[in-house]
Amino acid sequence: MTVQVDARGLSCPQPVILAVEAVQKGEFPIEVLVDTVTSRENVSRMARSKGLKIEIEDLGGEFKLTLSK
């Protein structure tokens, strides 16, 4: 089952904090929804630092980042 984190409308560092909390639970894949390039980049950086695979989908002004092991 996919875990979804909706971080749209939140400013950094909140999207990263929510994504980290989801990663710590260890249930993958995790979809993180964000609505700014800054949040996309910061969540991506965090995921890479933890050795996770990341797929980024542009949803036309919003982004869906899928994190997996």
Q: Provide CATH code, domain 3-68.
A: 3.30.110.40
pTM over 0.85: yes
pLDDT 10s per residue in the chain (69 long)? 899 999 999 999 999 999 999 999 999 999 999 999 999 999 999 999 999 999 999 999 999 999 999
What are the sequence ranges of the domains in the chain?
Answer: 3-68
Phi-psi region of 51 (alpha: psi -120 to 50; beta: other; left: phi over 0): left
pLDDT at 27: 94
Q: How high is the pLDDT of residue 35?
A: 97
